Structure 1
Amino acid sequence: MSDTSRPALPFDIAGIRLDGPGPLTRQLVEQLRQRMLQGRLPAGARMPTTRELAGALGLSRNTVVRAYEHLLDEGLIKSRVGDGSYVTPPLAQMRPPAGTTDTWPAPGVPASTPQTPRWEALQHFTPSRTPAGPVRAFRWGSPAMDLFPATLWSRLQAQAWRRHNTRELAYGDPAGLPVLREWLADYLRSSRGLACNAEQILITGGAQQGIALAAMALLGPGDEAAVESPGYRSAAAALALQAARIHHVPVDREGLRPAALQALGARCRLVYVTPSHQFPTGVAMSLQRRMDLLDWAHRQQAWIVEDDYDSEYRHQGQPLAPLASLDNAGRTLYVGSLSKLMFPGLRLGYLVAPHGWLPTLARLRAVLDRHSACMDQQVMADFIAQGHFLRHVRRMRRAARERRDALLGAWARHVEPLGLPLPAPEAGLHAYLPLPDAALERRLAEAATAAHLEVGAMRQVGGLPEASARAGLVLGFAALPPAATSRAVQALAQAWRRALD
């Protein structure tokens, strides 16, 4: 379509290029988002209609409709019935004030000095253990491991060993296998909308190590850190290795409350969050909260560690964009893991840092354990390169949605009549059942354990103190097939009926 035949638009589309990797919808979302962050699509601006933009860019209208739906899900635009779509006002707060710059500490120089282990703190933040034996119903944190293509993986391992040379048996790059980092960068750009390259990615021994490495790199003597409450207690354990103190910041229906960070003072230099799918409550952080959190990090010269632990499992709509993709100031480190897509025992994760910081992080990794197993990294790279990974991701997403639906259907029939409705999770691998008090939480958890069912009590899973008024249970639904989940829900209903009598 020639420029003269294009309809007039309320913003300049010059520079929009949809010829990169990944689906057209994802590319369009990324470029519109970037224009909003740069102010080229200012707060309050009216968006073109889907028909106008499709015509101007030579796209199908369905592609533009899906892009707008994604921007609506992220809170970047708002739709007014009969009046079109408008850029959300809070975006104006995201751009740093004119004349200000944020800089990381000098690349290659660790931001903190070694400190003695904080054994007292770790006693309060004991990481959770996976029970021995076969997977039982409602085990949280477990993907559909029965769907893992073990035969294919074994074949790729054999191929990798047949073609290896002796150099690959020596020590490798502490940052990780370059080809795997390249593939992961491509995947994160296309599937998560995270603009990054291989020079920003460190391969880690799972998300847990990534969190610990971030704390070691960013926290100095006397620095403090904050975590969500309730939240992932193993993250608090990792941060406690370096932080002088761990603060617990309340979570509500919009996620972590950034206003509570203001009261913690200048010593709080890092906050750990799960904004796309909060653990364990399952809420997504609102756009306004994300803006406030980025603003806090910018003003305090503090850091955000974003754990995107199960972002691929979005049961309604597209996965929400990471907080790191909205951060223009370079204050966010993005932590991811392959455990929830492959299998937890693989122990491969990644840490995406702002430009220039990979040498520091790689040196820290080398000090800890050199690097992840080279051959495991090679097999994972082959798994991605040959197209198996994306097919596996699609299969795992379908299975998680089917298993979630099986849980919800059986729950409505057998447990909800007991007065315990279960909110439908929009993402992830577990459902969260809020309860009125800790006494009921304890009674139901004990009854489930007696019935050989694994449910997560909030005081254990969420790291809450006994005195907390928050109560609830976490129920995983991905570990078992739908039929097994339905039978387990019936058994749970029987156990709870006796406990509630």
Structure 2
Amino acid sequence: MSPIEPPLSFNPAGIELDRRQGLTRQLYQALRQRVLDGRLVSGTRLPASRDLAAALAISRNSVVRAYDQLYAEGFIEARVGDGTYVAHLPQNPARGAKLSTKPSTGLSTSLSPGLSTNLSNSVDISNRKVIHSSALERLDRHHLPRPPSGPPRAFRVGVPAFDLFPFEVWAKLNAAFWRRPDLQHLCYGDPAGDWRLRGLIAAYLRSSRGLQCGAEQIVITSGAQQAISLCAQLLVEPGDGVAIENPGYRAAGHAFAIAGANLHGVAVNAEGFDCTALSQLEGCRLAYVTPSHQYPTGVVMSLARRLELLAWAERSDGWIVEDDYDGEYRYSGAPLAPLAALDRSGRVLYVGTFGKVAFPALRLGYLVLPAGLVQAFAQRRAVDVRHSEISTQAVMAEFMAAGHFQRHIRRMRRAASSRRDAVLAGWPRDVAGLGDLPTMTAGLHFMVKVDSLEREEALVAKAEAVDVEVNALSRYWLPGPGVPTDAQAGLVLGFAAVPPAAIAQALARLRQAWAD
């Protein structure tokens, strides 16, 4: 009969405590980590609380509280009349193994007295298994870059004149909501969004866009990007073809690609999206377009092209995702009627946002959907976020109902027009390789052609050197076979982010930088 082996004992010599910090918490974490990484194996006997307190020169109460926490979490167990032991835990590959970035040598090493291990059990971090997932691989290729940091500066794209937003009015409406909130607003809300806000958006679109829709067709989203992502999640099966403008809004392409779509870049010319090229694509049942002000070229899709696109959707039983991201900004006449206003067969999903008339951080957008899709979109959105943040929706509804929204849009349109004029007045002339300014009748940005990719890169670098943001048009093209061509070169600039005086100063710096 073999003799009973005595339990392993623990030597606390390796525990160092900082007297300026909580001693109980430090001791608990030190013991817990030793159990997790295998330095304290199952069955190891721990010192009595009085003995451990004496060894560490701390109060017994600190040790008792640390032991109590470890016991509550299952790391140790007390045996009546026999002391405290490390609990028997399931074997974990990380336990009993020393993580090392160095190759194993096969040599043994000693740890604290009473405990030992062998480097033959060591795990080389470089050999850890990598999780393979097609979704993760798609995300690795299709993700959004980090946005520019710091306050807006010339000529940041996608930023409205939010320095003019009536924050005092918004703050009063927000305070009024929280002063006496309706209790139903504090519960879980409708995933499609606040009914009152949906009704006000529908009324606004009917009067300003000629889009005949009702509150029941609208789903509130966390900005336009979530609206596009929902379209990708519900309308695209892996392997489906999706047509996107090329050059175009890359973030939309990323959303469809992550859903498993095969992206087809469709050229944009003076009339907009090339519907002839679209018709020749096989297996394509969805098109994403920005017809009112193409992003980034600024082209307005002609009526003939709009009708062609609608006919394609009806003929192919396809869908059109229309992104009207800055349709409020029209500098000659009223805003254009959207593609959705011409739709008679329920094939257009209209994406709108408050980010371009308020401020991007608001994260408030919406979808106007064919009636048969509303429930599915609301259900899918609920899986991700349950519902939108309630107070923002309620405050925006009051902001619109009280007339502040329409007044603010008029003010923003005047400001954007003034800032556009500042660009036209001070734009550098006769810069080598740089094309002429386009006619800017809509939107918050413009595009200027450059004669080569090399010149594009140089102009962008020189602008950045004088603290001016200028985007390269080549970054908006869908990656394809071969290298980018000089025909894809250009500059994309936003003109609404800063006041006219700041625009004039930035243009003066550009003139000097580009004169070289």
Bin for the TM-score computed over the shorter chain: 0.7 to 0.9
Number of the residue aligned with 1:283? 299
Letter in 2 for 1:118: A
**1-structure distance, mates of 2:404, 2:437:** 35
Residue 232 of structure 2 is aligned to residue 215 of structure 1: yes
Aligned-residue offset at 1:424: 2.6
**1-structure distance, mates of 2:329, 2:245:** 21
Residue 472 of structure 2 is aligned to residue 457 of structure 1: yes
**Contact 1:415–1:489, Cα closer than 8 Å, also in 2:** no
Number of the residue aligned with 2:510? 492
**2-structure distance, mates of 1:124, 1:463:** 12
Aligned pair partner of 1:374 in 372, 379, 390? 390
Aligned-residue offset at 1:461: 4.0
SS in 2 for 1:133: coil
Q: Deviations over 1:391-446 (max 9, x none)?
A: 000000000000000110111xx334656421131100011111122111111011
Aligned pair partner of 1:120 in 137, 151, 156? 137
**1-structure distance, mates of 2:477, 2:332:** 25
**Contact 2:246–2:476, Cα closer than 8 Å, also in 1:** no
Number of the residue aligned with 2:12? none
Number of the residue aligned with 2:176? 159
SS in 1 for 2:396: helix
Aligned-residue offset at 1:317: 1.7
Number of the residue aligned with 2:493? 475
Number of the residue aligned with 2:367? 351
**2-structure distance, mates of 1:393, 1:462:** 31
**Contact 2:236–2:261, Cα closer than 8 Å, also in 1:** no
Aligned-residue offset at 1:120: 3.4
Aligned-residue offset at 1:167: 2.7
Aligned-residue offset at 1:289: 1.0
Aligned-residue offset at 1:243: 3.4
Number of the residue aligned with 1:229? 246
Aligned pair partner of 2:438 in 423, 441, 449? 423
**1-structure distance, mates of 2:285, 2:397:** 35
SS in 2 for 1:431: strand
Aligned-residue offset at 1:490: 1.0
SS in 2 for 1:396: helix
Aligned-residue offset at 1:464: 5.5
Matches within 5 A, 1:2-151: 118-151=135-168
| TM-score between both structures, scaled by the size of structure 2 | 0.71
Aligned-residue offset at 1:380: 0.4
Matches within 5 A, 1:219-258: 219-258=236-275
Q: Deviations over 1:135-157 (max 9, x none)?
A: 11100100001101111111110
**Contact 1:157–1:379, Cα closer than 8 Å, also in 2:** yes
Q: Deviations over 1:37-79 (max 9, x none)?
A: xxxxxxxxxxxxxxxxxxxxxxxxxxxxxxxxxxxxxxxxxxx
Number of the residue aligned with 1:260? 277
Letter in 1 for 2:359: F
Q: Deviations over 1:301-320 (max 9, x none)?
A: 11000000000001122211
**1-structure distance, mates of 2:204, 2:141:** 37
Distance 1:280 1:464, change over 3 A: farther
Range that drifts further, 421-430 or 160-169: 160-169
**2-structure distance, mates of 1:489, 1:420:** 16
Distance 1:319 1:384, change over 3 A: same
Range that drifts further, 428-437 or 238-247: 238-247
Aligned-residue offset at 1:173: 0.4
Q: Deviations over 1:308-348 (max 9, x none)?
A: 00000011222111001111111110001000000000000
Letter in 1 for 2:350: Y
Aligned-residue offset at 1:273: 0.2
Aligned-residue offset at 1:117: 5.9
SS in 1 for 2:371: coil
Two-structure CA RMSD over aligned residues (Å): 1.5
Range that drifts further, 245-254 or 462-471: 462-471
Aligned-residue offset at 1:164: 0.5
Distance 1:255 1:121, change over 3 A: farther
**2-structure distance, mates of 1:461, 1:455:** 13
Aligned-residue offset at 1:209: 0.5
Number of the residue aligned with 1:183? 200
Aligned pair partner of 2:324 in 308, 311, 323? 308
**Contact 1:177–1:374, Cα closer than 8 Å, also in 2:** yes
**1-structure distance, mates of 2:138, 2:440:** 33
Aligned residue-pair number: 380
Residue 372 of structure 2 is aligned to residue 363 of structure 1: no
Number of the residue aligned with 1:87? none
**Contact 2:237–2:261, Cα closer than 8 Å, also in 1:** no
SS in 1 for 2:264: strand
**2-structure distance, mates of 1:426, 1:123:** 38
SS in 1 for 2:505: helix
Number of the residue aligned with 2:453? 438
**1-structure distance, mates of 2:430, 2:330:** 24
**Contact 1:126–1:233, Cα closer than 8 Å, also in 2:** no
Aligned-residue offset at 1:378: 0.4
Distance 1:378 1:416, change over 3 A: farther
Number of the residue aligned with 2:74? none
Distance 1:248 1:119, change over 3 A: farther
SS in 2 for 1:138: coil
Aligned pair partner of 2:357 in 328, 341, 344? 341
**2-structure distance, mates of 1:123, 1:435:** 30
SS in 2 for 1:199: helix
Q: Which has the higher contact order (CA 8 A, sep 6+)?
A: 1
Regions of 4+ moved over 6 Å:
none
Number of the residue aligned with 2:27? none
Aligned-residue offset at 1:375: 0.5
Number of the residue aligned with 1:86? none
**2-structure distance, mates of 1:221, 1:451:** 45
Structure 2 runs not aligned, ≥5 long? 1-132
Aligned-residue offset at 1:297: 0.9
Aligned pair partner of 1:319 in 335, 341, 344? 335
| Identity percentage of aligned residues | 53
**2-structure distance, mates of 1:462, 1:149:** 37
Q: Deviations over 1:259-307 (max 9, x none)?
A: 1112221x21111000010000000111111111111111111100000
**Contact 1:315–1:401, Cα closer than 8 Å, also in 2:** yes
